[in-house]
Amino acid sequence: MEEVSTLYNEALADFRQNQLDLAVQKLSQVLALDPSFDDAYEALSVILYNQKKYDDAIGWLKKWMALNPDSIMAHTNLSRCYVAKEMIPEAEKEQAEARRLTWKAELKSKKQQMPTINYEQQIERFKQVIALDPKDVLGYFSLATAYLDSGNPRDAADIFEKAVKVEPKHSSSYLGFGLALEQLGDREKAKQIYVQGIRVADEAGDIIPLRKMESRLRILEESG
């Protein structure tokens, strides 16, 4: 629908010009016309979060989840809102669900034959996510992962490095950063990153990235 697409693009332009209320108004119109527009929910929830309108953001995120309960970003953004409201048990529940859906998606992809993946499309999408919220560590992590999966470890390493600067406690970004450095042949720096990441993962109780980084560090040390 051309009207929906036009309104959505106008809303993003308003956001970039810091006209947040106007962007919210237009994104609300987009969702009134097309309640299944996932990107509009994502953008709207991020803007409302940045405005500290957490209850409004939560309301839209719950509408999104009612239509798309498997949306990883809906659960992730809802967790961030709950953290901001100091509703820690609720935040942890949503974060756990986001992780479960991520693992479910990974398992499903492994069971299927390797599909043709449009990495350029993925990369552009995640760049838009970061443009909406330059402090969104998951946006950086997803963009870096897309670069890594597409065979571009140089850009992957650069973006993973930005991810750990944005959120020094995001253990999965340390794992990705180390893997990218290994592909670039920078074994010493990879070992340094794994050591840092292992400490972060251990403190956070992130068992899966912790074990993977321990394994990669052990292989690098044993192979000289």
Q: Break the chain into its structural domains and give their ranges.
A: 2-111, 119-222
Average confidence (pLDDT) over 107-134: 80
> What's the pLDDT tens digit per position in 144-177?
999 999 999 999 999 999 999 999 999 999 999 9
> What's the pLDDT tens digit per position in 203-214?
999 999 999 999
What would the CATH number be for the domain defined by 2-111?
1.25.40.10
d(CA 83, CA 70): 21
For the cut 90, the answer to whether the pLDDT of residue 223 exceeds it is: no
- Cα 38 to Cα 33, 157, 172, 203, distances in angstroms: 13, 29, 25, 34
Contacts of 115 (CB under 8 A, 6+ apart): 109
Whether the predicted model's global pTM rises above the 0.85 cut: no
**What Rg value do the Cα atoms of the chain yield, rounded?**
19
d(CA 155, CA 161): 10
| Residue entry with tokens 């957490």 | 54
For the cut 80, the answer to whether the pLDDT of residue 109 exceeds it is: no
CATH number, domain 119-222, options 3.40.30.10, 1.25.40.10, 3.60.20.10, 1.10.3720.10: 1.25.40.10
- Cα 165 to Cα 140, 177, 197, distances in angstroms: 10, 12, 13
d(CA 144, CA 126): 9
Same-fold call for 2-111 versus 119-222? yes
Supply the pLDDT for residue 158.
98
Supply the pLDDT for residue 110.
67
Length of the chain as a residue count:
224
Give the angle subtended at the CA of 110 by the CAs of 107 and 111, to the nearest 5°: 90
Across 24-33, 101-110, 111-120, least confident range: 111-120
